[in-house]
Amino acid sequence: MKLGSIQLLRALAALIVVIYHIRSIEGGMIDAQGGGEATFITGLWAKGFSGVDLFFVISGFIMVFVTGEARARPQTAVIFLFSRASRIYPLWWLFASLMAAYFWVTYGLPYDVERTLGADMIEQTPILHLVFSYLLIPQPGWPVLGVGWTLVHEMYFYIGFTLLLLLPCRFRGWALGLWGTGVIAGSVAGFSAPFAGNYLQLVFHPMTLEFVMGGFAALLVVNGRVFRPALVTVAGTVLFIAALIWHPDPEQHPQDQLMSTLQWGRVIWFGIPAAILVYGLASLDIRGRFRAPGFAVSIGDWSYALYLSHMFTLSALKRIFPVAADIAENRLGLPAGSADFLRVGTPGLADNLVFLATALVASLTVAWISYRFFEQPALRLFGRLRAQLFDSRRLRLHPAPIRGAVW
C-alpha cells in the first residue's frame, strides 16, 4: 500500500534540499561576478538542509508501516534487509562512480583533493575511502559523493531495524523506544559527534531519533490512534515553516551553530515538526481525507534519484551558463550585455530567476531519466532476484491492516 501523502512529503523533502543547494550554487556564481548582490533564494531556504530531517522521519515511518505483519523469523529480517539494500545501493553506486570518475578526470585521483574533513584518511588510504564510500560505512570524511553521508545513517537504521524484526511484534514498539532512549543516553554521555566518523558516533548520533520518531508515528497510525489529523497536519506544517524561518543561519554563525545544527539542534527544530507533519498527513490519507496530486506522487517516486543527481545537474549548469552567455555574444554576434540573463550576479533579477527555473527543471528532468532508465530497471531486477531467493509467500512483507496492527 503506497501512501500518496508520504510520496508528497518525499517530494517536498527532496525539493527543499535541491533549492538549498541551488542557493549555494547561485551564491558562488554571484561571487564569481564580483559579489555585488545577495542571492535571490534567501531567508528560510538557508535552512534547506532540513529536508534531510524530513527524509529521516519518513524513512522511519515507512519501515514500521511496511513491516506491520512481519513475523519474527530470521528469513523475514533477511528479506527486509535485502529489499532495503537493493533499493539504496544500485543508484548510489551509479552516482558515486560518476563522482569518482569526475575527480579522476579533474585531479588524476578518484577523490576530492580539496576536502579537509577526513583529509588524512582520504589521502593516505584512498582505496579504503572508496570502499567505505561504496559500502556506506562511516569514515572520518565525507563519502566520495558528499550527499551520501545521509545514506550512511539510513543503512545503519536499516540494520538496526532488521534486528527489531527478530522480536515478536508485541515487543517491537518497546524495543524502538529503548533504542531511542539509548541514543539519548549515549549522546548525553558524549559518544556522539556532529559528523559520525565511526560506528560509535553513528550509533549514538541524535539524528537516529528522527527515524525513531517516524517509526512511532507509523505505530500510532496503523493502530488507529489518530487525534484530529487535520489540526495536527496544520500544526506540523506551521512548526516546520517556523523552524525554517527562525532557526539560526549556520552560515552567519558557523562556529556557534555547527554543534547545534548537526546534532540536537536539527532534531528539535526540524525532526519533531517533521514527525508531527508525517503523522497528521498520513492519518488523513489513510482515512481518505487527503489525496496527493499526481505530479507530487511522481516526484516522490523520483525523490531518491533527485537527491543523488541534483548536484551533478547544478554543477553542470554553473559551468554552462557563463559559457552560453559568451557564445551568444562573442560567436553569435548578439549585442554586448544581451545575454546577461545567463550571467548570475549581474544587476537585476532576470539572471537569478532564469537560473532558478532552469535548475529546477533540469534537476527534475535528470532525476526522471535516472529513475526511469536506471532505478526502475534495477528495482525490477532485484525484485525478481528476491522472488527467486525468497519464494515463500509466508515470508513476504505486508503492511499491517489499519487498526489491526499488533504493535
pLDDT digits (tens, 9 = 90+) for 174-225: 999 999 999 999 999 999 988 999 999 999 999 999 999 999 999 999 888 8
b (16+ CB within 10 A) / e for 117-136: ebeebbeeebeebbebbbeb
Is residue 216 in some structural domain?
no
The answer to whether the beta carbons of residues 250 and 261 sit under 8 Å apart is yes
Is residue 5 in some structural domain?
yes
Mean pLDDT of the chain: 90
Distances (CA, A) of 264 to 126, 158, 184, 188: 32, 21, 10, 10
Is residue 58 in some structural domain?
no
Is residue 85 in some structural domain?
no
The position carrying cell 588510504 is 125
By the 10 Å C-beta count (0-12 exposed, 13-18 middle, 19+ buried), 168 is classed as exposed
Tens of pLDDT, residue by residue over 127-175, are: 999 999 999 999 998 999 999 999 999 999 999 999 999 999 889 999 9
Specify the pLDDT at position 404.
39
Specify the pLDDT at position 87.
96
Is residue 12 in some structural domain?
yes
Q: Which domain holds residue 353?
A: 1-41+298-391
Is residue 74 in some structural domain?
no
Reference 60, options 216, 203, 182; nearest CA is 216
DSSP 74-123: HHHHHHHHHHHHHHHHHHHHHHHHHHHHHHHHHHSSSS-TT--TTHHHHH
Give ∠ CA 36-42-44 in degrees, rounded to 5.
160
Q: Provide the 3-class DSSP secondary structure of residue 343.
A: coil
User: How far is 288 from 262, CA to CA, in rounded Å?
Assistant: 37
Q: What percent of the chain has pLDDT over 90?
A: 70
pLDDT at 55 over 70: yes
pLDDT at 261 over 80: no
The band of 401, judged by pLDDT with boundaries at 50, 70 and 90, is low
Total domains present in the chain: 1
pLDDT at 26 over 80: yes
Tens of pLDDT, residue by residue over 317-332, are: 999 999 999 999 888 8
Specify the pLDDT at position 324.
95
Specify the pLDDT at position 40.
84
Which of 65-74, 235-244, 341-350, 364-373 has the weakest average pLDDT? 65-74
Is residue 72 in some structural domain?
no
Is residue 180 in some structural domain?
no
